[in-house]
Structure 1
Amino acid sequence: MGEILFLAHRIPFPPDRGDKIRSHHLLKALAELAPVHVGTFGETDADMAAEAELESIAASHRLIRRTKPLALAGLEALASNKPVSLTAFDSAALRAWVSQVLSERPIDTIFVFSGQMGQYVPDDFAGRVIVDLCDVDSAKFDAYGVDGTWPRRVIDRREGRVLACEEERLAHRADATILISSNEASLFSSRLAKRDGTDIRVIRNGIDADLFDPANVTPQRDLVQARGPQIVFTGQMDYLPNIVAVERVMDAILPRLRAQHPKATFHVVGRAPVQRLLDRAGKDNVRVWGEVPDVKPFLAAADIVIAPLAIARGIQNKVLEAMAMARPVLLSPEAATGIDAVDGKHFAIAESDEAMVQQALRLIDDTGEAIAMGHAARAYVLAEQSWPAMLADLAGLVGRGKGARNAA
């Protein structure tokens, strides 16, 4: 058996956000099958500080700090008729490293994590190519192009259009294309101009239920000592769908909850909150925490974890994490996509703002129901969403399992 080249748009360490959690577990699983060479980017000091962890698992690696301004990536995209998503992650240094690894090592499989990295697969590579798109990014930009404001919606429409072409190219280039849920796989297939010659697979996100175990977590003292219901949202807070979801809670849900529970407090927990969220911190029972060392204490102390996302591609790690922590989760239908749990038993789904409020009030007022839902949620995660179960078919997919074909 040969070796594996793993290309990821963000370093899979530390595994502290949705895409990095997925790439982290994929990389660990691949490293158990064969030597893995990793080419990736870092964006923050924490990313770059995690290089030692990457070195401990990779046979070799190249970590490049991504500093290209978005405006420059946009100009390059216009000039080349490429998606901004690709030009933002285009690096001559990484291309040179990939070429060197392919010439010096017996690479028989290239595993591409996220569509931005497909540009590094040489046309003449004869081995196996696996592309994990995670979700359909072009569809996300299409949605932004409908709902956004000018001129951003014009930019997003273009990005959705040209990115869809790149996604289709990758689907035909790859031996298999992975999506994060059956819904995303069906959506992706429906958007292909030509489906023949593509192999669309599903690998769902898992959860580290030992790490997210409420028995081993001390709840955040500030929330425990506070009076009134504590509502928590977690996520990357410069990501537009998260921003919109948080503003929905602030504007349409929290005020109605406070009409009956004046001490109800909404906690926004996650790195890089944008200024428009910071401007609301400390007002109307809203706390914006920004980046915290660990989200688990906030989940453990929450009366309700809320995820009212209007745009949600794939499976939401924030939902699985809260469920693993045995918390009652109130979420939109979009945020529940890809999680085969039962509404009313494992979590509570509500579509409209009014339904969100009524569901929240019921969970606040009926603590027995809330506790039972949390216990059922954790039991579901343990039985259905562990990482080993999710990655059981990975070996065969990359040509290391029983009956795997010779890609070359």
Structure 2
Amino acid sequence: MTGRFHIMVLSGGSLIGQNILDSLEGRRERVRLTGVNQHADHPRLYRYDRVHLCPPLESDTFRPFLLELIERERPDAILPGRDHDTVELAELAAASPELSPRIPCGDPEAARTMNDKGLSCRFAVRRGLPFAPTCLVEDEGREAVRAWAAAQGFPLLAKPRRGYGSLGVRILTRSRQLEAFLDRHGEGYILQKYLDLRPERERFIEEYLRDLDCGVPLFFDLPEEGQYAGQAVIAPDGRVGRVFTSVNRMVIGRCERSAPHLDPALEALTRAYAEAMASSGWRGMFNLQCRRTPDGYAAHEMNGRMSGSTSARRWLGYDEVRELVSGFFGVDIGPDRREEGVPPGEGVVCRSLSDDFAARRDLERLAHDRFWDRDANPGHP
């Protein structure tokens, strides 16, 4: 390979896009980054070398647009920035064998399984893997849903089958809430048992409900201290590489603190899930999210992509972008120069708000031209 390794990121303005940018910030001289995004107004887009505005992924024009863009830009690798991008790229690779070497992914059906929490649960049950007790609302009659809820007990979690980042998730604490939820929001949702419900958390929920008599709070959040996660790269030949496990603090669906969690049981569970997905045809990134219960760890979600903790894991000694590029493309993009003098894995990563600046002229140029090039805008910071 001559020149910089060229990575194209779909949904480049997403949180995952930011994590890829952050992971590569200390080696941009070796990596060229092209972002693809539907909207022009997020400042992090202007950290890419080039940006292209695209039609909505759900539109009939997206696939032709992407094919033409790939032909024009000639990226070495194409990465997803959202769950829907993972499915799109898997389908594109299956339909276009000439492009599949640039897309580190696997079978489209495996991608759809990971993108749908209901299908994920069925997959885990078939493979004998521990997964949060789950009810697929659309596939059951109301009486069956009521019986399942009664057997599990409240509170329950109602989640979009294809949601991400905790968006749209509800906590159901009463039978009347379950009935109202089924009347208004049941389609496209699953119900899950609330795992690892600690007494202090249950009290917090009950106090919040009582406080609603005094008005609706402007903000509400239930900080999650015990989100356990596993990450691995499934190689092109199906082998599962190194597994990295961590414990994260989630605030409003985003990871704000991450630390290594070196538990052989969590590592073994992550590897078992990754190997099961590999046997189903998946390749590339694999992410597992779990809760710890009295019976051990149980998964509640899996993804075939990087995540909102990708850059945190790099600081903690797991450089998944480097591993993915090396394993699929035989290119070593090298270590991040910011790692010099930092003992890997011997600390925690905390994330807080940061400033991203975008010049008005760049925002207007991208919105008008639907294309932005850093080299053509040398005044950009």
Specify if TM > 0.5: no
With normalisation by structure 2, the TM-score equals 0.39
Higher strand share: 2
TM-score (norm 1): 0.37
**Larger helix proportion of the pair:** 1
Q: Give the number of the structure with larger relative contact order, counting CA–CA contacts within 8 Å between residues 6 or more apart.
A: 2
